[in-house]
Amino acid sequence: MPEPVASSHPITIDPTMSNAVTNAPAAPPPVEKVRVKVDGREIEVPKTMPDWQGKMQPTTMLQACKIAGVEVPHYCYHHKLPVAGNCRMCLVEFSTPMMDPATRKPVLNEDGSPKMARSVLPYEPQTPRGAIACATPISPGMEIHAASPATKQMREAVLESLLINHPLDCPICDQAGECKLQEYSVQHGQAASRFVEPKVHKPKAVDLGPRIMLDDERCILCTRCVRFTRDVAGDDALGIVNRGSYNTIASAPGRSFDNNYTLNTVDLCPVGALTSKDFRFKMRVWFLKETPSVCTSCATGCSVTVGSREGIVHRYEPRENDAVNGPWMCDSGRLNYRWIHRPDRLGKVLLRGAESDWTSAIAELAALLGSAPKGSVAFVASSRQTTEELWLVSRIARKLGALTDTVAREGEPDRLLVSADKNPNSQGARLTGVSFTEAGVTIPEIARGIDEGRIRTLVVLGEDVTKAGISSETLARVGNLVVSDILPNATTAAAHVLLPGCAHVEKRGTFINGKGRIQRFGKAIEPRGDARAEWEWLQELAVALGAVEPSRSIEGLFNRMASDVPALAGVEWARLGDLGVTVPV
């Protein structure tokens, strides 16, 4: 049986949600149950269920059907948006127990079961009257006929009406393959069109905003986009203009639809009316390999799905996770993937300017760090690295008595999802002990150590330290500068040992977001050139220095780390799942 429709408003994150280890949710209060029948099968459903904001409201027929495992097709309904009830696709036939108007007692059949009254048109009692399942509350004893001939006929009729002016340009439509109109037409529609008149033509390729393209002909006017931007994003920018079959979605006159959450309307749009300019005509969706991942643009760490094909990332989409982002994500995070395919990505292991290989580089590093006197090494790691990598850095640093820190990255927060901390794993750095609560406080001390000649070896991972408090002149005094990074910068240019790194979509690992949610992410594409996941070589180095026991896989490494870091006690890779686990921070 599927979970009941998920709770909580995306912005007010529900801390009691899901499988938290340490702050286990309190026992839920007893819920009043109602017995209803769905397609002849009796089930028990809660009398009230959370609506889109998480407020308890009477359970609807659609929610009851979902609990029963019966899918009711719908377009305008979305569990995280206010109910509009305008598409009529979820019409179902239902019956209620018959009541004797005089005695107010239920009328019984001869066998003692309650006599059911099908809902019919009041002026035409032989015709069934459907009700929209998304907005009609259930009542005790109600029977929902989600697969009756009348229900099927209603769906067929609604689809036919929606398709009357639909252009059927699926071959050029980006939504094809994930289009609800296509899916429901196959499942519930008619095989042929009876409509012979010319279709109403509306504007195509309308520029709605900097990231959104609108095709008015494809729109079925479900108003999901209107409701999202008004009620969730808080920017009342969209509406419906004109009348009748000339209804079109439009932004307010003289305004561009340009808030930081516009691309969510592309996900919400059940048809191909709203399409992303960034993804437009880039790849057909059925080719995309979907890898569960985490957005790295800020400490919110939205759950995302990476769509890639043959080693190329084509898009990020939010993945529903009520403990983090709900079903939404911001546009800036969603579009922050192009750097992965920048042509100037570092792809070669360089040992003092000469091309080398990983085996000799790691051997040289192990010899260098192994023979370094205590206190002569410092690490500047990045909070964009995975928790496992940061833990390995902290273990190596502990072994060598080295100073460690990460670089803070601050930005403008907003009231929805964007966090002021622009690092995806600041908590990981704190919990593994690489940085203090305030990241970057040790960097001046490291710079002073270099200037005074105490620190001879500096290991920099994924950061440009020349912009973070260690000037180029100071950097030039370092005897051995070991740098691992993805893209070239002033620090990689000065490196004595340069190790090409991986983007997060090229490796596996975990991030801990600002609220302490550990989420794991998968590998979508192969690394470029000689680039190698940092945890692999960091672990080789740590093993060579005797700082950790070797693990064969990221799973093993994570579990080893979890048993070492107090905050992660009891967490296991296998228990993280796709939604992650919350730890105290």
In angstroms, how far is CA 241 from the centroid of its own chain?
32
Residues 486, 501: Cα–Cα separation, whole Å: 5
Q: How far is the CB of 178 from another protein (least distance, A)?
A: 14
Q: What angle do CA 569, 570, 573 make, to 5 degrees?
A: 105
Binding-site ranges for another protein (CB under 8 A): 167, 169-172, 176, 198-205, 241-243, 246, 248, 277-284, 286-287
Q: How far is the CB of 167 from another protein (least distance, A)?
A: 7
C-beta separation of 431 from 391 below 8 A: no
C-beta separation of 383 from 435 below 8 A: yes
What is the CB neighbour count within 10 angstroms for residue 493?
Answer: 13
Query: What Å distances lie between residue 393 and 32, 401, 439, 503, 561, CA to CA?
Result: 52, 12, 15, 18, 12
Nearer to another protein, 216 or 388 (CB): 216
The three-state secondary structure class of 400 is helix
Q: How far is the CB of 201 from another protein (least distance, A)?
A: 4
Nearer to another protein, 86 or 248 (CB): 248
Residues 434, 443: Cα–Cα separation, whole Å: 12
Is residue 530 classed exposed, middle or buried when 0-12, 13-18 and 19+ CB atoms within 10 A define those classes? middle
Beta bridge partners of 93: 145
Nearer to another protein, 272 or 501 (CB): 272
Q: How far is the CB of 176 from another protein (least distance, A)?
A: 7
C-beta separation of 176 from 182 below 8 A: yes
Residues 385, 307: Cα–Cα separation, whole Å: 21
Q: How far is the CB of 335 from another protein (least distance, A)?
A: 12
Which residues touch 506 (CB under 8 Å, ≥6 apart)?
A: 340, 523, 524, 525, 526, 527, 528, 531, 533
Q: How far is the CB of 166 from another protein (least distance, A)?
A: 12
Nearer to another protein, 199 or 399 (CB): 199
Query: What Å distances lie between residue 372 and 163, 369, 457, CA to CA?
Result: 73, 5, 8
Q: How far is the CB of 263 from another protein (least distance, A)?
A: 13
Helix (H), strand (E) at residue 480: strand 480-485
What is the CB neighbour count within 10 angstroms for residue 82?
Answer: 16
Nearer to another protein, 172 or 569 (CB): 172
Residues 227, 218: Cα–Cα separation, whole Å: 18
C-beta separation of 282 from 314 below 8 A: yes
Residues 27, 374: Cα–Cα separation, whole Å: 52
Q: What angle do CA 534, 540, 543 make, to 5 degrees?
A: 130
Residues 195, 64: Cα–Cα separation, whole Å: 35
